[in-house]
Amino acid sequence: MALLPGISSPADVRALRPAQLESLATEIRAFLVDSVSRTGGHLGPNLGVVELTIALHRVFESPRDTIVFDTGHQAYVHKLLTGRSDFSALRQRGGLSGYPSRAESEHDVVENSHASTGLSWADGIAKANELRGAADRHVAVVVGDGALTGGMAWEALNNIAAGQDRRLVIVVNDNQRSYAPTIGGLAAHLTTLRTTRSYENVLAWGKRTLRRSGPPGRLAYEALHGLKKGIKDVVAPQGMFEDLGLKYVGPVDGHDVRAVEGALARAKAFGGPVIVHVITEKGRGYTPAEQDVSDRFHAVGVIHPETGLPIAPSRFGWTSVFADEMVRLGHRRPDLVAITAAMLEPVGLAPFTSEFPSRVFDVGIAEQHAVASAAGLAFGGMHPVVAVYATFLNRAFDQVLMDVALHKAGVTFVLDRAGITGDDGASHNGQWDMSLLRLVPGLRLAAPRDEDTLRAALQAAVEVDDAPTVLRYPKGPLPPRLPAVDQLAELDVLGRHDGDERSVLVVGVGAMAHTATRVAELLAAEGCTATAVDPRWVLPVPESLVKAVGDHTCAVVIEDGVVEGGVGSMVAQHCAAAGVRTPVHPVGIPLRFLEHASRAQLVESLRLRAEDIAHDALRRLDTPAH
């Protein structure tokens, strides 16, 4: 009889007999492959934590005990075991989030998708339990998929070690990967822990040897004491954690549910902070994922479950253009280097790595370090290109401001997945970058609209050696080429339509340039004079754009970023400072978090379709000024 349909809460998991747990794990894996292959999602990480999550819910009593996943894309099994079994609309509007979600369940606390924050959350929750007198409550935090490479994680560990009476269990889910093989000194240390014969095993061997051949009495005791002292530093590298004041348990086979349960139970009983080191295999139990070396099953689209191949192969996209142009520039510029934060393949740096392996630095999930290190590389005579998702540059804003811009360092930032990305929800929509970066003195930002403008912008950006430069582009396939019909200094004119005395300047920022041309056409159909333009470099605001605004009755600036403090509001400020009285209407994303949905659904709900923008512009034109 199937077990999974009978699981609606963690109490049901705890009620199972130990002999049933392996069968439950098999059912969960089959469910994940079948469901995620239909919707897309983070398949590999969740296949790797099946037994671990079962053990967590047998040892800890959620929600009384708090369970945190860092990163949160490891939480699919947790969702299943806490009563959320409808994965039919995973990461789609109205369906389950791809991350923990407080709106879904009391068992979800941290909606964690920006990695390396979970330990800080756990530290705070454990402190709160202590202050409230809830000493019998525990906090368990699963740190995996490279999250322990982030600097915040080590700041948290340093503080957690100070609370020796706080009931906090840190599970290091060691699958050797984030988006790619985990790198750095910590990774090497964990590898040592995985591959070195444990201290306890060697000690047991020594005891057996002494019993067989050693003299009795004091001499045997001294020999055993010397054995302990001599081997501990060699075979117990967990000392790094214990030197911090953190008890260490492991390594434990993460796919032996009874072994994991036993280790977690021991850690829970200790009564203080404990690290449980669990060895797992990403993609466990799914042959295509187990045989893949590129980690393409970390997150998948809709796939054939039998083969793991995509239903609809990806079209040549923005990221591929960047990847190709980087290689071309790398051959011409020996000073060009690349930096990323655990996203070498997703941001398109794999081809550059193949050509120039010594000129690529993957720093792990450590965006702050990446940017400050880039400033150092620039000082040393190189030109670094820092490639990350737009949403993750938020984490390193201080370094962009104070390490790069203040020091006039020639560093280029390439922001993939800028604007509305949709499926992964609030944390992954790249909507904040332009509002934040407009505050950085001297920074220049380009928003290319197609392949040609992306290549041209990257070529221009790496020539700047005295200020930060930024390129941002969206997720997905490339739009058709959109050539300029004319140029006005720094502006590309995309279309002109003559009409009545009402004249509208429609400014399209980056990916919204195609929308701007359509808005101009719709306005022209209503008799307006309409001009669509694209300022490929939107920061600083071009003087020619301010002049063009002044030559029209009204201006509309369309951007796929937060409208408050965005490009449109900056254009309006510059026009006001220049004495230009033409009203400027910024159109973009309101200042709120966006729920997970498709890009098309979000564009429609935000009234960012060309038809909506044109309608609103006509209404403003026909409304008398007061």
Catalogue the active-site residues.
Answer: 282, 367, 395
Q: What whole-number distance in Å separates Cα of residue 541 and Cα of residue 463? A: 20
| Tokens of residue 324, six digits | 């190709």
- Coil, strand or helix: which one is 70? strand
Q: What whole-number distance in Å separates Cα of residue 85 and Cα of residue 624? A: 55
Q: Is 114 annotated as a binding residue?
A: yes
Q: Is 70 annotated as a binding residue?
A: no
Question: In 3D, which of 349, 304, 366, 336 has the Cα closest to residue 116?
Answer: 366
Give the H or E element holding residue 224: helix 218-235
Put residue 184 in one of left, alpha, beta given phi > 0 → left and psi -120 to 50 → alpha: left
| Tokens of residue 302, six digits | 């809709």
Q: Is 578 annotated as a binding residue?
A: no
Type of residue found at 224: L
Q: What whole-number distance in Å separates Cα of residue 152 and Cα of residue 160? A: 12
Q: What whole-number distance in Å separates Cα of residue 518 and Cα of residue 399? A: 39
Contacts of 293 (CB under 8 A, 6+ apart): none
Give the angle subtended at the CA of 28 by the CAs of 25 and 34, to the nearest 5°. 145
Q: What whole-number distance in Å separates Cα of residue 33 and Cα of residue 373? A: 40
CA atoms within 13 A on the CB side of 253: 5
Is residue 96 a contact partner of residue 105, using CB atoms and an 8 Å limit? Answer: no
Give the H or E element holding residue 412: strand 412-416
Q: Is 65 annotated as a binding residue?
A: no
Q: Is 146 annotated as a binding residue?
A: yes
Contacts of 485 (CB under 8 A, 6+ apart): 493, 494, 495, 496
DSSP 249-264: EEEEETT-HHHHHHHH
| Tokens of residue 362, six digits | 């993957």
Q: Is 175 annotated as a binding residue?
A: yes
Q: Is 115 annotated as a binding residue?
A: yes
Q: Phi, psi (5° rounding) for residue 181?
A: -55, 130
Q: Is 286 annotated as a binding residue?
A: yes
Question: In 3D, which of 177, 205, 178 has the Cα closest to residue 191?
Answer: 177
Question: In 3D, which of 587, 537, 538, 589 has the Cα closest to residue 421?
Answer: 589
Type of residue found at 459: Q
Question: Alpha-carbon dihedral of residues 368, 371, 376, 381, nearest 10 degrees?
Answer: 170
Put residue 126 in one of left, alpha, beta given phi > 0 → left and psi -120 to 50 → alpha: alpha
- Coil, strand or helix: which one is 194? helix
- Coil, strand or helix: which one is 303? strand
Q: What whole-number distance in Å separates Cα of residue 479 and Cα of residue 564? A: 27
Q: What whole-number distance in Å separates Cα of residue 549 and Cα of residue 507? A: 9
State yes or no: cis peptide before 310, omega within 30 of 0: no
Contacts of 536 (CB under 8 A, 6+ apart): 446, 447, 448, 449, 453, 456, 457, 490, 492
Task: Provide the annotated binding site for Mg(2+).
Answer: 145, 175
Task: Provide the annotated binding site for thiamine diphosphate.
Answer: 73, 113-115, 146-147, 175, 286, 367
Task: Provide the annotated binding site.
Answer: 73, 113-115, 145-147, 175, 286, 367
